[in-house]
Amino acid sequence: MTETTLDSVHHVAIPVKDIGASVRWYTTEFHCEVSYQDEAWALLRFANLELALVIAEQHPPHVAFSRPDASCFGPLVTHRDGTRSCYVQDPAGNAVEILDATSL
């Protein structure tokens, strides 16, 4: 029997109206760390997953997977935090981000 390596969910992104207020709420109510924050989005690290807080007009709500072959899904864009990724849609039209595992 061959063993299959499962893909990793890197983060889930949810829309918020105010990044600062949302970061304050999550970091007060839960044990997490701020990995990145600016006016348009924040990334919070939990023990098992990262949570992205996004302004919907600037970033779609999405789930992000880390893949070493991310460029097979489309052209990668470099983001302000140094990560590289592309967005695709699942069959239901949900946004899915494919992060280049080498850029994390």
Q: Give CA–CA dist 98/86, Å, rounded.
A: 5
In a domain, 94, yes or no: yes
Residue 78 covered by a domain: yes
Nearest-CA neighbor of 42 among 27, 28, 29, 86?
Answer: 27
Query: With contact defined as beta carbons under 8 Å apart, do 58 and 93 qualify?
Result: no
Number of domains composing the chain:
1
Give the pLDDT score at 36.
Answer: 93
Compute, in degrees rounded to 10, the torsion defined by CA atoms 15, 96, 59, 93. -80
pTM: 0.89
Q: For 40-78, what is each residue's pLDDT tens digit?
A: 999 999 999 999 999 989 889 999 999 999 999 999 999
Q: Can you give the residue range of the structural domain that contains 95?
A: 8-103
pLDDT of residue 1: 62
Give me the CATH number covering residue 35.
3.10.180.10
